[in-house]
């Protein structure tokens, strides 16, 4: 089958879901064709492969001041007139007129390009599947907004409220017209079923060809985190800092042998350092820039504990986060430490796969780290006996099979 994929980014900067989908669709003999916004990020460029991709360029200026003015103009045009969706719909329509397609898949983390997908699906009478990797309601505050508006505080609040209303309206209108909706966690499924009862769970996952266990003896015990921190309300490392400061206080660890390594951007580093100010742990921490996605399996396999950051599920807090990094960590069979436990689906997944601990208290984190540190002292490496059958369920190959079954069903009606 030939499937047209409309998505907000490809190759994706932080959400490689569509990239892996195209990889395994092509392996199965399907033909994915992608239309996406041009974004200068090559984190997952290796995933493009031989996939046919048409990039829509909304921003042309490279000069900082002109680019900012251009961004403001595009934002205003898009807010009032759906400028970006209309432009993408024209590109998608030209492709659809040149060939026979079995359906349209649209993947987004907010709303763009859902209106474009809805329009071209109706125009060309094709099944529409909407895939939501994230939704606005999952965030503790306004972390879903990529850029601050930087006006007066009272005006910022009004703009944010109007922007949120528009995003939800556009998203929900598209959801109601979709033949099927897919999303990433049980919480997301229940939330989106209010707009479309045909909502199915397709987790994030790991590529089994890239993420598999390797055993390396290391000179240092390393706790590793790769990714972003949006805010402490969403991802809170302070239980880790409390546990490590106790280990230090009891002289069970020393900085020469015990390291916490962060592969993060500058904004995330600032959040981490702010959270660490109350704890004497700075001498245990190393910061590195992002690394190419192709290097991440090696970094994970040379680590002693893999860190996941979360926070307790709450009505005014984060909800339903189950990131790609979680499943990649499970696949390499290194002890996984989640702080702070969401006390919900994330904790349940870690328990079911036997991949580590979702710590609710600093005491739990302390005991978990100490146990694996002592194992490392005796053996030079760490290991955890996961439930391999449960971990394999999160393979990107199996998730691609889910998507293909959906389109096969829709085309058999």
pLDDT tens-digit series, residues 80-92: 999 999 999 999 9
End-to-end Cα, the chain, rounded Å: 15
- Tell me what the pLDDT averaged over the chain comes to: 91
Least confident of 38-47, 166-175, 227-236, 297-306: 38-47
Same domain, 401 and 385: no
Output the pLDDT for position 150. Answer: 56
What percentage of the chain carries pLDDT values higher than 90?
72
- Segment 39-51, tens digit of pLDDT: 876 666 667 778 8
Provide the number of structural domains found in the chain: 2
Domain region containing 267? 221-392
Asked whether residue 339 is assigned to any structural domain, the reply reads yes
CATH number of the domain that residue 405 is part of = 3.40.50.2000
Residue 214 lies in a domain: no
Burial of residue 36 (number of CB atoms within 10 Å: 0-12, 13-18, 19+): buried
Pair (135, 45) in one structural domain? yes
The per-residue pLDDT for 385 is: 96
Mention every residue, 6+ apart, whose C-beta is less than 8 A from residue 283: 255
What is the signed CA dihedral for 61, 63, 68, 73, rounded to 10 degrees? -30
Residue 113: asked if its preceding bond is cis (omega within 30°), the reply is yes
Q: Note the pLDDT of residue 142.
A: 64
Identify whether residues 193 and 227 lie together within a single domain. no
In a domain, 212, yes or no: no
Same domain, 376 and 402: no
Q: What proportions of the chain, in percent to the nearest 5, are helix, strand and coil? A: 45, 15, 40
Confidence of residue 151 (pLDDT cuts 50, 70, 90): low
Stretch 105-121: mean pLDDT: 95
Could you tell me if residue 215 is inside a domain? no
- Residue 377: pLDDT band with limits 50, 70, 90: very high
Residues 116 and 43 in one domain: yes
Q: Is the pLDDT of residue 320 over 70?
A: yes
Residues 277 and 199 in one domain: no
Residue 147 has pLDDT above 70, yes or no: no
* 342 and 357 belong to one structural domain: yes
The two structure tokens encoding residue 76: 């205003």
Check whether residue 388 and residue 246 sit in a common domain.
yes
Peptide bond into 52 cis (omega under 30): no
**Contact between 104 and 35 (Cβ < 8 Å):** no
Both 52 and 148 in a single domain?
yes
In this prediction, residue 315 carries a pLDDT of 56
In this structure, the answer to whether residues 247 and 313 fall within a common structural domain is yes
In the block, residue with structure tokens 């005006």: 155
Query: Is 200 among the domain residues?
Result: yes
What is the chain's alpha carbon radius of gyration, rounded to the nearest angstrom? Answer: 22
Same domain for 379 and 234 = yes
- Residue 209 inside a domain? The answer is no
Rounded Cα gap, residues 100 and 304, in angstroms: 50
Residue 379 has pLDDT above 80, yes or no: yes
Residue 216 falls inside a structural domain: no
pLDDT of 76 strictly over 80: yes
Q: What percent of the chain is predicted at pLDDT more than 70?
A: 92
Are 225 and 129 contained in the same domain? no
- Residue 149: pLDDT band (50, 70, 90) is low
pTM of the shown model: 0.89
Both structure tokens of 74: 């595009």
Q: Check the CA dihedral 2-4-10-14 and report its sign.
A: negative
Q: How confident is the model at residue 15 (pLDDT cuts 50, 70, 90)?
A: low
Instruction: Say what the pLDDT of residue 59 is.
Output: 81
Summarised one tens digit per residue, pLDDT across range 258-276 is 999 999 999 999 999 999 9
Q: Helices (DSSP H) in 83-223: which residue ranges?
A: 83-96, 114-124, 153-177, 186-192
């Amino acid at each position: 089958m030939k499937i047209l994929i409309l998505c907000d980014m490809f190759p994706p900067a932080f959400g490689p879901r569509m990239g892996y989908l195209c990889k395994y669709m092509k392996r199965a003999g399907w033909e994915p064709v992608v239309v996406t916004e041009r974004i200068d990020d090559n984190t997952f460029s290796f995933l493009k492969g031989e996939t046919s991709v048409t990039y829509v360029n909304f921003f042309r200026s490279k000069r900082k001041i002109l680019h900012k003015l251009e961004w403001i103009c595009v934002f205003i045009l898009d807010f009032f007139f759906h400028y970006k969706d209309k432009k993408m719909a024209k590109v998608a329509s030209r492709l659809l007129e040149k060939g026979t397609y079995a359906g349209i898949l649209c993947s987004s983390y907010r709303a763009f390009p859902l209106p474009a997908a809805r329009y071209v699906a109706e125009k060309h009478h094709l099944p529409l599947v909407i895939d939501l990797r994230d939704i606005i309601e999952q965030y503790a505050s306004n972390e879903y907004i990529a850029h601050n508006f930087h006006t007066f505080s009272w005006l910022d609040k009004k703009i944010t409220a109007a922007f949120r209303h528009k995003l939800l309206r556009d998203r929900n209108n598209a959801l109601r017209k979709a033949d099927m909706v897919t999303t990433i966690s049980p919480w997301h499924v229940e939330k989106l079923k209010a707009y479309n009862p045909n909502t199915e769970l397709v987790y994030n996952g790991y590529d089994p060809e890239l993420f598999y266990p390797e055993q390396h003896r290391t000179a240092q015990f390393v706790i590793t985190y790769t990714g972003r921190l949006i805010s402490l309300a969403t991802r809170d490392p302070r239980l880790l800092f409390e546990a490590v400061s106790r280990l230090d206080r009891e002289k069970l660890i020393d900085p020469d042998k015990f390291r916490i390594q962060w592969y993060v951007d500058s904004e995330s580093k600032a959040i981490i350092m702010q959270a660490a100010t109350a704890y004497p742990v700075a001498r245990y921490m190393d910061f590195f820039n992002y690394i190419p996605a192709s290097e991440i399996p090696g970094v994970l396999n040379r680590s002693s504990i893999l860190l996941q950051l979360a926070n307790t599920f709450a009505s005014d807090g984060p909800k339903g986060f189950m990131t790609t990094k979680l499943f990649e960590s499970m696949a390499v069979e290194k002890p996984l430490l989640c702080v702070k436990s969401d006390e919900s689906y994330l904790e349940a997944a870690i328990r079911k796969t036997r991949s580590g601990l979702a710590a609710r208290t600093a005491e739990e984190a302390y005991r978990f780290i100490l146990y694996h540190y002592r194992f490392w002292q005796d053996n030079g490496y760490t290991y955890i006996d996961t439930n391999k059958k449960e971990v394999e369920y999160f393979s990107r190959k199996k998730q691609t099979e889910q998507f293909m079954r959906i389109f096969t069903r829709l085309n058999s009606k």
